[in-house]
Structures are given as structure tokens and as C-alpha cells.
Amino acid sequence: MQLCLDVGNSHIFGGIFDGTDLSLRFRHPTALHSTSDELGIFLKTVLRENNIDLSNITDIGISSVVPSLDYSLRSACIKYFNINPLFINADIKTGLTIQIDNPHELGADLICDAVAASQHFPSKNIIIISMGTATTYSAISKNREFLGVSISPGMRLSMEALQGNTAKLFAVEIKKPTSVLGKNTTASIQSGLYFGQLGVFRELTQRISEEYFTDDSPIIIGCGGFSQLFEKEGVFTAWMPDLILQGLKHILDLNRGLTA
């Protein structure tokens, strides 16, 4: 079994692969100052509560965009699992050609998403919309070239900006509104967040396609925490909530010599 961890700014999204089967998914809030013991005990507890024998974990892969947690995560894996984890970065085998100015700036999460997408849709141009703390738009060519990224504030971050920088606006539940025009403050904020994000989807995917994919229309993949809200809007060719874990597993296999 393989333990894969996506460490984001808001949550740690984890999964257990039993062969090719993603047999368990779990989430935990990201705490920036967690110790190795806190992380290790959490991981052992969630596995035991799901009837997974810790001795069956043979490998661990980590995609982290929170550098302050990397030391504690590595220490937790070594102390509680006796496994030195593989951290994803641009220096390891990915099967991608990364065509950006400084590949080391590219987030591990974006690398994992791109690898999984290229596996699912070989020989296809791809745009990945990943909705986390930030919303990212990654472009990958049919030749497995990572062409670049566009980054905008995520929905929760946008809401927090309104709440923190206006006198009368407040936090709301992020959900799909029933109308584009709100009849109260809550509905008005929800509308702006939802339809504003939807408009950015359409504008950016169109511009990326016109600039980079004139030869062949791209597959558009939605993933990340809030992507499910937009599953029925017709902006995604495919909605793939486990994309990052699948990419993490493939990179883990590739670098451990388990796959070609």
C-alpha cells in the first residue's frame, strides 16, 4: 500500500492506494506549526480507524506547498512508519517537459495534476482548473509539455478579502446561488463569488486555447475543493477530484522504479 499526501494551504488531502485502487481518502486542516508527533499520530489514527494495518504501508509520497511543514512531515513518516517519503519537485522524474522560466517555482500540486491529466488523456492538449486557496489554470500540451500557469484568488480567499476590507460585508456559505442578482447581502456575495469565478473560467480557458492550442481544442479538467460546485456548468470536459492523488502515485511509482 502507498500513502499519498497533498499538503495544501487549507487542508492535507490524503489517500491510500492498494495497487491501483484508491481505497481511502481523508482530509485534515493544515496547521502551520504542527509537530512531527501531531502529524504522525493523526496519520496512524486515521489509518487504524479505517482498518488499515500500518505495516502494509510500503511507500509515502508527499506533494507540499507549505514548506514550513516539510521537516515535520518527513520526520513523522520516518518516526511513525520507518519510511523516508518522496517529496515531489521539478528535479525528480515526472515525464513532463517543464517550460517555465524557473521550474523550481512550480508547485508540487500543479506537477502532480499535470502528470495525472497526461496519463488520463495522452496525446491531448489539456487545461487544468484547480480550485483551492488559489485557483490555478495550468496548460499542458499533447507532447507532455507544461507550458505555464495563470493564478487567481480562490473563492474563499476572495470572500475573506471582502469580509476583511469592507465595513458591512461578512463571510457567507460558498454555494451556487439561485439567481445572478441577490435580494439580500448574503445572496449578493454568493452571486458575485460564484458567477465571477465562472466568468474567469470561461475567459481564461478561451484565451489559453487561442494562444497555445490553435491546432487542437484542449481537454478542460476541473479539480480541487470548490470544483464540484461547477461540475454541471459545462466548463469542464471532466471533473476529477482525485487528480492530484493519482498524479502523486504515478510519480511515486516512476521514481521508485515501479513503472516505466
Label residue 167 exposed, middle or buried (CB < 10 Å: 0-12, 13-18, 19+): exposed
Q: What is the pLDDT of residue 258?
A: 62
The three-class DSSP label of residue 19 is: coil
Q: What is the pLDDT of residue 214?
A: 92
User: What is the full per-residue pLDDT of the chain (260 aa) written as tens digits?
Assistant: 999 999 998 889 999 999 999 999 999 999 888 999 999 999 999 999 999 999 999 999 999 999 999 999 999 999 999 999 999 999 999 999 999 999 999 999 999 999 999 999 999 999 999 998 899 999 999 999 999 999 999 999 999 999 999 999 899 999 999 999 999 999 999 999 999 999 999 999 999 999 999 989 999 999 988 999 999 999 999 999 999 999 999 999 999 876 55
Terminal C-alpha separation, the chain: 19
Task: Say if residues 64 and 41 touch (Cβ distance below 8 Å).
Answer: no
Task: Read off the amino acid at residue 234.
Answer: G
Q: Can you give the length of the chain in residues?
A: 260
Q: What is the pLDDT of residue 76?
A: 96
Alpha-carbon separation of residue 64 from 13, 68, 104, 139 (angstroms): 10, 10, 13, 20
Cell numbers standing for residue 132: 483551492
Q: Alpha-carbon distance 251 to 37, whole Å? A: 27
Catalytic positions: 109
